[in-house]
Amino acid sequence: MNKKVIAILVVLVIIVAGFFIVQNKGDKSLATIKEKGKFVVGLDDNFPPMGFRDEGGNIVGFDIDLAKELAERMGVQVEFKPVEWDGVLFSLKNGTIDVIWNALTITEERAEQIAFSKPYLDNRQIIVVQEDSTINNKDDLVGKIIGIQLGSSSENALNNEQEVVNKLEEIRRFSNNTEALMDLQTGRIDAVVVDEILGRYYISKKPDVYRVLEDDFGHELYGVGIRQEDIKFKEEIDVILDEMKEDGTAAEISNKWFGEDILKK
Give the model confidence (pLDDT) of 154-164 as tens digits. 998 999 999 99
Query: Which backbone phi and psi does 212 adopt, to 5 degrees?
Result: -105, 130
pLDDT at 4 over 70: no
Query: Which backbone phi and psi does 183 adopt, to 5 degrees?
Result: -70, -30
Q: Is residue 143 left, alpha or beta, with left meaning phi > 0 and alpha meaning psi from -120 to 50?
A: left
- CATH classification (class only), 123-219: alpha beta
191-195 and 121-130 strand pairing = antiparallel
- CATH classification (class only), 28-120+223-258: alpha beta
pLDDT at 13 over 60: no
Give the model confidence (pLDDT) of 139-148 as tens digits. 999 999 999 9
pLDDT for res 15: 36
99-100 and 225-226 strand pairing = antiparallel
pLDDT band for position 151 (cuts 50, 70, 90): confident
Q: How much is the pTM?
A: 0.72
Give the model confidence (pLDDT) of 93-115 as tens digits. 999 999 999 989 898 999 999 99
Domain with CATH 3.40.190.10 in the chain: 28-120+223-258, 123-219
Helices (H), ranges, the chain: 3-25, 29-36, 62-74, 88-93, 108-111, 153-159, 162-165, 177-185, 196-205, 231-246, 249-258
